[in-house]
């Protein structure tokens, strides 16, 4: 028996879209070495804290839009800003997070990602995928 990979499954595309759409409105990063003297103002769409200057993302609005689209009850607050993609075993979670990383980089220029997995076996499965 040979396992064949299908990159065009609707439920996987929906999961990737759910992740990427959370950051709708994020300014695309053009370079890793941009230095600019920006004044944080509401007109510029920026906010300033002790940690630095950031974009005013509409995370709660984006989150509720994604939740409604998926048939989930919308959140009323952001909380700890921890987002998860929950899928059944064998449905392509590894593909979804790798494709999500690719799309986040392509659409928004994100370059740093942290992936947490519950076991060494799953981590090794990313290095040596089955069925290829």
Task: Tell me whether residue 4 is in a domain.
Answer: no
Q: Residue 55: which pLDDT band, with cuts at 50, 70 and 90? A: low
Question: Where in the sequence is the domain holding 46, given as residue range(s)?
Answer: 10-127
Q: What CA dihedral angle connects 54, 66, 123 and 6, to 10 degrees?
A: -130
The CA distance from 44 to 62, in Å, is 20
Task: Tell me whether residue 113 is in a domain.
Answer: yes
Task: Tell me whether residue 106 is in a domain.
Answer: yes
Q: What is the pLDDT of residue 53?
A: 61
Task: Tell me whether residue 65 is in a domain.
Answer: yes
Task: Tell me whether residue 27 is in a domain.
Answer: yes
The CA distance from 129 to 81, in Å, is 30
Query: Does the pLDDT at position 43 exceed 60?
Result: no
Task: Tell me whether residue 48 is in a domain.
Answer: yes
**Tokens linked to 128:** 């040596």
Q: Residue 128: which pLDDT band, with cuts at 50, 70 and 90? A: low
Task: Tell me whether residue 102 is in a domain.
Answer: yes
């Amino acid at each position: 028996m040979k396992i064949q990979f299908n990159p065009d499954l609707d439920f996987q595309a929906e999961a990737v879209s759910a992740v990427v759409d959370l950051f709708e409105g994020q300014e695309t990063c053009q370079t890793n070495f941009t230095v600019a003297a920006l004044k944080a103002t509401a007109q510029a769409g920026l906010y300033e804290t002790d940690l630095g200057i950031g974009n005013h993302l509409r995370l709660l609005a984006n989150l509720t839009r994604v939740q409604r689209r998926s048939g989930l009850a919308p959140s009323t607050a952001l909380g700890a800003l921890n987002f998860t993609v929950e899928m059944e075993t064998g449905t392509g979670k590894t593909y979804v997070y790798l494709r999500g990383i690719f799309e986040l980089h392509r659409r928004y220029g994100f370059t740093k990602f942290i992936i947490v997995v519950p076991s060494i076996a799953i981590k090794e499965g990313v290095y040596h995928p089955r069925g290829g």
